[in-house]
């Protein structure tokens, strides 16, 4: 990417400054709960990341010369303010971010028993609060910057404490995901891509943008931040109906006056409790880790597909640490077509840029392969030259399932399959399965007196649920005598069919009878002199039909 002279100079200076800091920083503790840091020490919050994985030697081994430093400088940028120099020694950067957060509070306060309940819950769990605030300190500067840009109240920057305890990989039982806990459908409404390669609901930058867009839309609709928060938790349609009920009854329509589920009733009081703790942590016998008023992470541009493990090694991080900043990947490879940047702490960002500029050899060991036709996993593994167990594991293919035509599988790179994944696949890849069962033959059976779903199922060795589904009846239904009942049996299971049918008669009866056909659903009269066969079982008529080469397939 191109850069102005001023920006280019600032990035060169930043890389030199950071590398000198890496060289002089001694290994420190990596305990998540450790808060022995100073807000004005730009290395304090990244020290454990620079050394904990034992891969910092990569950065040391890649001693930068001027050409490599210049190449690496074009990879680094602040995703919040691209094009502007970052002065870590500026007075503003040394301020405590918590002071800035407190100064931006603008929402009306709640003061009720539910607020007291939430305060007591947090104050009785200081270890939990320590972990939550320490984790949140990585992302808080970015969020408060975005909040301020939109002229929103700073309380919204605390919402991830309530939603996910600032865990970008959180997944609820209702399938809400990420730091801001987006449901799948809502995420799609706000352009958070979800496919086999990535889930942008977990992306730190994208999910923050989407959450604040959503909250802004809700505030515009309801004109009140408490109601907007209720709608974020409960759904805007539910909040609107609650308001309409109160209007019809002549009641107030503020947050505390509406009838709502307990979870939503407790939602804003929990946020108020966190706000009160941030305002005066000592009042609750709690402490907040100091957080510097500058970005915790930088964006580093990538233009080739890259294994997550390789990226972590180049940055001097463990894979788990790398995923704290880049949690959106579903697979062990990042696709440059849609993941154009990675987020890294300062020290690690500079090391990554320098090591990437010096790297020789492959960056990715995986690529994508589109399945040309529906096939078994064993056949797919043979075609791509992988062990079947590895293919099943990396693609999470369930047992006894076929991979359907058009599905995208992650496969090992080879000399003849070494391309980066295309933008189209990176954005639209999907994976679909079908049960690996024998082809089925459709049969129409004439029910006899007293026949039930269970009786037909037992006779043809299928489940009652299948018979009920095929005939659109309940599992305990009883058929009328003479009613035509549909069953499907495996083509190869001839013994199963014979056990349910009597031997066919050698001569056709009732000349001119019609035969049902599966492919058209029409009735066809036999040609002249033809002798249609008719099978009987205990007086019940059975007509077997086939499609194509003598069989009707259903998966």
Measured from the Cβ of residue 90, the count of other Cβ atoms closer than 10 Å reads 12
Confidence at residue 70, expressed as pLDDT on a 0 to 100 scale: 53
255 by DSSP, 3-state: which? helix
**Chain mean pLDDT for the chain:** 81
**239 and 146 in one domain?**
yes
User: Given a cut of 80, is residue 523 above it in pLDDT?
Assistant: no
Question: Quick check: is 53 in a domain?
Answer: no
What does the pLDDT read at residue 516? Answer: 43
CA distances to 162, 491, 547, 550 from 544, rounded to whole Å, are 61, 11, 11, 10
pLDDT(157) > 60: yes
Percentage of the chain with pLDDT > 90? 66
d(CA 390, CA 409): 12
Residue 297 C-alpha from the chain's centroid: 22
Catalytic residue among 163, 256, 321, 388: 163
Compute the distance between CA of residue 367 and CA of residue 363 in angstroms, rounded to an integer. 11
What pLDDT score does 228 carry? 98
277 & 348 share domain? no
Q: How many Cβ atoms from other residues are within 10 Å of residue 318's Cβ?
A: 18
Tell me, yes or no, whether 403 lies in a domain: yes
Please choose, from the candidates 341, 311, 426, the residue with its C-alpha nearest in 3D space to the C-alpha of residue 1: 341
Lowest pLDDT segment from 35-44, 373-382, 481-490: 35-44
List the CATH number of the domain containing 449. 3.10.350.10
Q: Report residue 491's pLDDT band, with 50, 70 and 90 as the boundaries.
A: confident
Structural domain including 229 reads 92-284
Are 321 and 454 members of one domain? no
In a domain, 18, yes or no: no
Query: Is residue 139 domain-shared with residue 177, that is, in the same domain?
Result: yes
Structure tokens at 119: 């305060």
Residue 490 banded pLDDT, cuts 50, 70, 90:
confident
Task: Write the pLDDT tens digit of every residue in 17-35.
Answer: 333 333 333 333 333 333 3
439 pLDDT exceeds 60?
yes
131: pLDDT confidence band, cut at 50, 70 and 90? very high
- CA 284, 289, 291, 296 dihedral sign is negative
Residue that wins the pLDDT comparison between 16 and 145 = 145
* CATH code for the domain of 139: 1.10.530.10
Domain's final residue, options 396, 420, 435: 435
34 belongs to a structural domain: no
Do residues 118 and 158 make contact, with C-beta atoms less than 8 angstroms apart? no
Q: What's residue 126's pLDDT?
A: 97
Residue 421 has pLDDT above 90, yes or no: yes
Residues 271 and 313 in one domain: no
- Residue in this structure with the two tokens 């352009």, named with its chain if needed: 191
* Residues 179 and 324 both lie in one domain: no
| Residue 103 sits in the same domain as residue 228 | yes
Give the per-residue pLDDT at 255. Answer: 98
What mean pLDDT is predicted for residues 47-52?
A: 33
* Catalytic annotation present for 321: no
Last residue within a domain, chosen from 358, 379, 398:
358
Q: What totals of helices (H) and strands (E) does the chain contain, helices first?
A: 23, 16
Of 224, 254, 284, which residue constitutes the final position of a domain?
284
pLDDT at 535 > cutoff 50: no
pLDDT tier at 362, thresholds 50, 70, 90: very high
In contact, 534 and 509? CB cutoff 8 Å: yes
226 in the same domain as 194? yes
- Integer Cα distance of 287 and 285 in angstroms: 7
Say whether both 412 and 482 belong to one domain: no
Would you state the pLDDT for residue 88? Answer: 66
Question: Does residue 323 sit in the same domain as residue 383?
Answer: no
Which one has a higher pLDDT value, 503 or 377? 377
Do residues 406 and 461 both lie within one domain? no
Structural domains in the chain (count): 4
Q: Are residues 161 and 280 in the same domain?
A: yes
């Amino acid at each position: 990417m191109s850069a102005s002279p001023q920006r280019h100079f600032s990035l060169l200076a930043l890389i030199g400054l950071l590398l000198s800091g890496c060289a002089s920083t001694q290994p420190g503790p990596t305990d998540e709960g450790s808060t022995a840091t100073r807000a004005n020490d730009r290395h304090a919050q990244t020290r454990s990341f620079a050394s904990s994985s034992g891969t910092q030697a990569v950065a040391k081994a890649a001693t930068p010369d001027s050409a490599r430093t210049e190449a690496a400088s074009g990879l680094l940028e602040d995703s919040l303010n691209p094009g502007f120099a970052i002065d870590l020694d500026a007075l503003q950067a040394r301020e405590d971010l918590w002071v800035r957060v407190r100064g931006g509070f603008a929402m009306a306060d709640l003061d009720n028993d539910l607020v007291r309940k939430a305060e007591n819950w947090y104050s009785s769990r200081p270890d939990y609060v320590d972990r939550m605030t320490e984790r949140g300190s990585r992302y808080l500067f970015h969020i408060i910057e975005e909040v301020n840009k939109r002229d929103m109240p700073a309380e919204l920057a605390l919402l991830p404490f309530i939603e996910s305890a600032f865990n970008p990989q959180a997944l609820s039982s209702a399938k809400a995901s990420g730091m801001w806990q987006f449901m799948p459908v809502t995420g799609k409404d706000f352009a958070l891509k979800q496919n086999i390669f990535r889930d942008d609901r977990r992306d730190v930058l994208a999910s923050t943008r989407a959450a604040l867009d959503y909250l802004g839309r809700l505030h515009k609709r309801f004109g009140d931040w408490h109601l907007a928060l209720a709608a974020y938790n409960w759904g805007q349609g539910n909040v609107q109906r609650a308001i309409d009920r109160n209007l019809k009854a002549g009641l107030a329509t503020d947050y505390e006056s509406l009838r709502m589920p307990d979870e939503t009733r407790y939602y804003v009081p929990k946020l108020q409790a966190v706000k009160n703790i941030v305002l005066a942590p000592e009042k609750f016998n709690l402490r907040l880790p100091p957080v510097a008023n500058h970005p915790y992470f930088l964006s580093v541009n990538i233009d080739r597909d890259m294994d997550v493990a390789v990226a972590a090694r180049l940055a001097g991080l463990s894979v788990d640490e790398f995923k704290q900043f880049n949690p959106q990947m579903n697979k062990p490879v990042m696709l440059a077509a849609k993941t154009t940047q990675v987020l890294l702490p300062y020290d690690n960002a500079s090391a990554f840029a320098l090591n990437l500029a010096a790297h020789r050899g492959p960056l990715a060991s995986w690529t994508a392969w589109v399945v040309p036709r529906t096939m078994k996993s064993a056949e797919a593994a043979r075609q791509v030259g992988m062990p079947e167990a590895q293919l099943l594991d990396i693609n999470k293919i369930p047992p006894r399932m076929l991979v359907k035509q058009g599905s995208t599988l992650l496969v090992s790179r080879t000399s003849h399959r070494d391309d980066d994944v295309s933008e189209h696949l990176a954005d639209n890849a999907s994976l679909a399965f079908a049960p690996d069962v024998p082809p089925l033959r459709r049969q129409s059976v004439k029910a006899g007196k007293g026949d039930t779903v269970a009786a037909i199922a037992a006779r043809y060795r299928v489940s009652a649920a299948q018979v009920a589904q095929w005939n659109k009846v309940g599992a305990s239904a009883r058929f009328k005598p003479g009613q035509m009942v549909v069953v499907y049996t495996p083509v190869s299971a001839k013994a199963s069919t014979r056990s349910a049918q009597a031997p066919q008669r050698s001569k056709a009866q009732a000349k001119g009878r019609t035969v049902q056909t599966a492919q058209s659903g029409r009735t066809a009269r036999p040609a002249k002199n033809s002798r249609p066969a008719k099978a009987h079982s205990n007086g019940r008529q059975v007509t077997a039909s086939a499609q194509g080469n003598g069989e009707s397939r259903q998966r």
